[in-house]
Structure 1
Amino acid sequence: MATVRQFQVTFDCAEPERVARFWCEVLGYVVPPAPEGFASWADYDGSLPPEEQGAAFACVDPTGVGPRLYFQRVPEGKIVKNRVHLDVRVGTGLVGEERFATLEAESARLIALGATHVLTQRADEHNESCITLQDIEGNEFCVD
């Protein structure tokens, strides 16, 4: 049997801290403590060479169950659809109109945080409802 490995999910972005704080709000994640010897992440960031300041940020599941999310600054903007995306699972165990209402309510909360609506897919005979959004830098994710 294969060994289960820990992993982190890495986002390429223009503004790592801004995108990380968005995902903290989406998932209930938190910013980990600043490195030892620094009172805050801003203090740590200020100690870096100018070209490295603001280049990365991370957030973690406060329960330790979910993967760490890492955000790294890249020079190019997003051009095409993601090949991998996150599914924010708020409707697990729900069906029909109850599920759809839950997805709509969560989507409205995320849109208020800066997400953008892309597509709403209503349940059919094969699939349950799903709502596709984009985060504040255009990365697609699903509320399902």
Structure 2
Amino acid sequence: MASVKQVQITFDCAEPERVARFWCEVLGYVVPPPPKGFASWDAFDRSLPPERQGAAFACMDPSGVGPRLFFQRVPEGKVVKNRVHLDVRVGTGLVGEERVAALEAECARLIELGAVRLQLLRADGFNESCLLMQDIEGNEFCLD
């Protein structure tokens, strides 16, 4: 059996480019180069049929280590909690109040980008503290 070498994480959303650019800022990701023959993503987008324009966007880890993120426009809005979410690892190796301070500092930065703070879950003897948040379209994620 072949082993999986890469993973792409796909987000359903209303505004793919807007959400992709938010996650670029959160993760330090970049927009990949446009397809061959196009000077920009805008030029590529204009070449598509009107119903496909603005329907998708992507971002990637500039080091090539992290998964590619793909954002696709869907007609329905988000109505329930995500079954899968991203954990943004900002407190790795930290414990107690030092960890909470790192989570809160990153939370403040992400709020400036349009994220929403939901709830701080304090360490419980089994799990370390984490901070529940939402991206600019209401998708849940954790600062961990």
TM-score using structure 1 length? 0.97
| 1:122 alignment partner in structure 2 | 122
In 1, distance between residues paired with 2:82 and 2:132? 12
Task: After TM superposition, give the deviation of residue 47 of structure 1 in Å.
Answer: 0.6
Distance in 1 of aligned mates of 2:126 and 2:8 = 31
- Of 1-10 and 103-112, more deviation after overlay is shown by 1-10
**Structure 1: which amino acid aligns with 2:92?**
T
TM value normalised by structure 2: 0.97
Residue 19 of structure 2 aligns with an amino acid whose one-letter code is V
Partner of 1:100: 100
Letter in 1 for 2:50: P
Q: Name the counterpart of 2:77.
A: 77
Taking the TM superposition and a 5 Å limit, the aligned residue runs for 1:14-93 are 14-93=14-93
Amino acid at match of 1:9: I
Deviation at 1:4, TM superposition (A): 3.7
| Residues 80-103 of structure 1, C-alpha deviations (whole Å, 9 max, x = no match) | 000000000010011111111000
Question: How many matched pairs?
Answer: 144
The offset of 1:9, in angstroms, is: 0.1
- 2: CA distance, partners of 1:67 / 1:50: 29
Q: What SS does the aligned partner of 2:43 have?
A: helix
CA distance in 2, matches of 1:100, 1:119: 12
RMSD: 1.1
Taking only the aligned residue pairs, the percentage that are identical comes to 78
Q: Which residue of 2 aligns with 1:133?
A: 133
Deviations 1:20-64 (A, max 9, x none): 000000000000001111110001000100000000000000000
Q: Give 1:123 shift.
A: 1.5
Q: Secondary structure at the match of 2:39?
A: coil
Instruction: Find the residue that maps to 1:72 and give its secondary structure.
Output: strand
Extract unaligned runs of 5+ from structure 1.
Answer: none
